[in-house]
Structure 1
């Protein structure tokens, strides 16, 4: 198993659901840089501005607009393009929003996952499926040592519960229709990937720490922090994406060895507080201040959330390249570049993202991950 990402994905048709979102657009750029034939299936970008449009990705890939809840259209797309591998990222990704629209959150995150799995079962076109869920799929027990892949699933809020349900749906389809030890009666290798608190350039979503921080700093406004003592495992978007791409490559090589659930988390033994992250972002930006303003709501959010990623380290030869300080710095670098370019309607942020991807791959290879080429 000495293949590299570029050797695996070059020329390969790859379907990304949710490609207009923050993580999906970064994954589309990375796959494009690897030479893949990228097909995206998603609703319109969820924010204005957004990373997908700033990078002009509709000119660089097959851009299909559709709702993950539209089973017939989804099945038609799979039949038409016959992707070799599917990365499923389409989701309602905001915890606080799930309190306001719980049914939609469950319909999208659970029903959408079932739709893509059922379409793959019926069409028999793909060879591998990587379902992206969340670190919030675990039962909230405030474990400071980190959740492992075999810890109980659960969820207090609708978003977290939806991700636990999505994990159960993935496991059910895998065990019922695509058993790894038999390569599945239809040949589909199935895995799920769990990561959380991903940061990076181009994220403009509401109710997220770094996007809220950067939007305030760009306006010379005070950064509002609602939970400064909350502990999270902060990681740059390229950290889990490298894991997703590696996992997809390994699934194509050996379904039995690499099917199942995988955690991808940051390098720190001790996760950082939101206060520390905001203060570092302000230092990287060069100016600014923050203010504690408690959230005027009874909506519960997990206070301590950390993943154990030893399985990925031992079996995939994967480790996170960026420490949290560099993850924040790279995020701030992107927004500084965006601030400089945003008045130019012809500007294309694709090349900024592609340069950060090349830097990440170079550092990964320097840490012994030769597959990251």
Structure 2
């Protein structure tokens, strides 16, 4: 019988958003959780050291495309919910190697849905009614907005412009189809750009931070006026927890930070914080390191999330402003340079040298 003490199965729980969800879960809910993660370059068990020895935490290394493994975990742990975070997520990587994104994000989601559906078929009606599948997605499925356009709402059509966005849109549609075709109890969330501690340094903020600290050029795509809606990762983790508890099967909820910023302004704010925190740096002012580079293909001009539905129906609101969240983020990276050095070696360094120039 499924109860509140039955575990939650999280896929991708060693990644950026996933690790914050796991940490938030044990600091607020505290019931058992199983973390399934393949530990690709972006997965890091060091992120989860605070919970690694807790009796309710179980880590399993594995791939969501492995149906035999998923079936075994469902039978062994009898989860009351699945929180599906595992995905290839970096747009630049999807442009040079889209196949892995399609395989993991689309086929992997299909395997997980089918394993969960087979598991549900074995449950009685009461337990089936308790089960939830939370599918975590992105605002990039909606494409790009023009200045003055209304922010993305849950009812907007999908218009993905990158292989990554297309793969996530496809996975969202699979989840929707399983709900409509099989009565599968899925909830979908689409979030805006996440930032905060523990983010792998290929994404904009940690990439710029890492390079600025070392006095390296700060690549700014195109004119730098692309607008992003920034969401502090701790706020996102809390939103996912609430969506799992209160979200209605068949519904989609946009999770955004109400923080639209042009990339150029974001980098300038970050540089100003580094100037403040590192008064003796030989690279001050850090903004002098900015270098405009050729824009990437299909670069969306503007993202903006309307999170009104999540606020109204889930009772969630972000706590951090962009200014407060960015200050926390910069301070964390400066205080945790050992973590940065550990994750910026090997395959990451090779990728950076190929795509952004050698250090």
Smaller-chain TM-score bracket? 0.7 to 0.9
Aligned to 1:166: 171
Rounded Cα–Cα distance in structure 2 between residues aligned with 1:282 and 1:51: 27
Rounded Cα–Cα distance in structure 1 between residues aligned with 2:187 and 2:210: 35
Indicate whether 1:324 and 2:329 are aligned: no
SS at match of 1:233: strand
Q: How do residues 135-214 of structure 1 correspond to structure 2 at under 5 angstroms?
A: 135-142=139-146, 144-178=149-183, 189-206=185-202, 208-214=203-209
Q: How do residues 285-304 of structure 1 correspond to structure 2 at under 5 angstroms?
A: 285=274, 286=276, 287=278, 288=284, 289-290=286-287, 291-296=289-294, 298-304=296-302
After superposition, give the CA deviation of every residue in 1:121-176 in whole Å (9 maximum; x if it has no partner). Answer: 00116701110010001143436321110010121211111111111101000111
Question: Would you say the 8 A contact 1:277–1:328 is kept in 2?
Answer: no
Rounded Cα–Cα distance in structure 1 between residues aligned with 2:320 and 2:161: 31
* 1:39 corresponds to which of 26, 30, 34: 34
Question: Would you say the 8 A contact 2:219–2:293 is kept in 1?
Answer: no
Rounded Cα–Cα distance in structure 2 between residues aligned with 1:99 and 1:167: 20
Aligned to 2:267: 278
Deviation of 1:301 (Å): 1.4
Q: How do residues 112-131 of structure 1 correspond to structure 2 at under 5 angstroms?
A: 112-124=108-120, 127-131=131-135
Deviation of 1:51 (Å): 5.2
Deviation of 1:339 (Å): 3.2
Give the TM-score normalised by the residue count of structure 1: 0.78
* 1:265 corresponds to which of 253, 256, 260: 256
Q: How do residues 41-120 of structure 1 correspond to structure 2 at under 5 angstroms?
A: 41-47=36-42, 52-56=45-49, 58-60=52-54, 61-120=57-116
Rounded Cα–Cα distance in structure 1 between residues aligned with 2:229 and 2:133: 26
Rounded Cα–Cα distance in structure 2 between residues aligned with 1:266 and 1:41: 28
After superposition, give the CA deviation of every residue in 1:253-298 in whole Å (9 maximum; x if it has no partner). Answer: xx4xx53111000134xx1111221222222232441344344465
Question: Would you say the 8 A contact 1:68–1:115 is kept in 2?
Answer: yes
- Quick check: 216-225 or 13-22, which moved more? 216-225
Rounded Cα–Cα distance in structure 2 between residues aligned with 1:98 and 1:139: 15
* 2:138 corresponds to which of 131, 134, 153: 134
Deviation of 1:218 (Å): 3.6
Against the structure 1 CA distance between its residues 53 and 148, is the aligned structure 2 distance closer, same or farther, given a 3 Å change threshold?
same
Question: Would you say the 8 A contact 1:193–1:263 is kept in 2?
Answer: yes
Against the structure 1 CA distance between its residues 132 and 54, is the aligned structure 2 distance closer, same or farther, given a 3 Å change threshold?
closer
Question: Would you say the 8 A contact 1:40–1:62 is kept in 2?
Answer: yes
SS at match of 1:153: coil
* 2:24 corresponds to which of 20, 23, 30: 30
Query: How many pairs are equivalent?
Result: 317
SS at match of 1:331: helix
Rounded Cα–Cα distance in structure 2 between residues aligned with 1:103 and 1:111: 11
SS at match of 1:204: coil
Rounded Cα–Cα distance in structure 2 between residues aligned with 1:156 and 1:140: 8
